[in-house]
């Protein structure tokens, strides 16, 4: 299984965002440096609801360091929905889903086709 690498500090921040927005979803874009996810970008004017998150990707700046997405699921299911898979196929890259209860163990990573990736947390 392929691996995606993320800084512990960023993952902690993403878990905190998921808790803060609960019971709504939140979503963002992941910036990568030297093969490691290190920052999150929240798109302007997002809508974070109980069953979906929406943002206008046209509002994003041109940024070649954006290599993935992240969003939360307010329930315990960490698997991508059909809507998630449709988005994954359009955006590309790596996609993190953080499921309730928003712990390191409830984070899953997927490729654009929905296949799983291993998550490696770096200090």
pTM of the complete model: 0.88
| Structure tokens given for 122 | 């770096």
Question: Residue 17 phi/psi, 5° resolution?
Answer: -60, -45
Q: Residues 60-93: pLDDT tens digits?
A: 677 889 899 999 999 999 999 998 898 888 777 9
Q: Is the pLDDT of residue 51 over 60?
A: no
Averaged pLDDT score across all residues of the chain: 88
Spell out the domain ranges in the chain.
3-56+64-122
Q: Is the pLDDT of residue 57 over 70?
A: no
- What is d(CA 75, CA 69) in angstroms, rounded to the nearest whole number? 19
Which secondary structure element, helix H or strand E, spans residue 91, and what is its range?
A: helix 82-91
* pLDDT attached to residue 49: 45
Summary count for the chain: helices (H), strands (E): 2, 9
Provide the CATH topology of domain 3-56+64-122. Cytidine Deaminase; domain 2 (3.40.140)
Q: Which residues partner with 96 through β-bridges? A: 70, 109
């Amino acid at each position: 299984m392929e691996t995606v690498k993320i800084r512990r500090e960023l993952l902690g921040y993403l878990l905190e965002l998921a808790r803060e927005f609960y019971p709504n979803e939140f979503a963002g874009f992941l910036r990568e440096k030297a093969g490691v996810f290190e920052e999150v970008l929240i798109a302007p004017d997002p809508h974070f609801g109980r069953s979906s998150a929406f943002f206008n990707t046209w509002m994003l700046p041109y940024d070649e360091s954006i290599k993935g997405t992240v969003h939360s699921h307010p329930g315990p299911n960490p698997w991508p929905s059909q809507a998630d898979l449709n988005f994954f196929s359009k955006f590309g890259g790596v996609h993190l889903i953080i499921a309730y209860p928003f712990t390191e163990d409830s984070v899953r990573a997927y490729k654009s086709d929905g296949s799983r990736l291993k998550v490696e947390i770096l200090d």
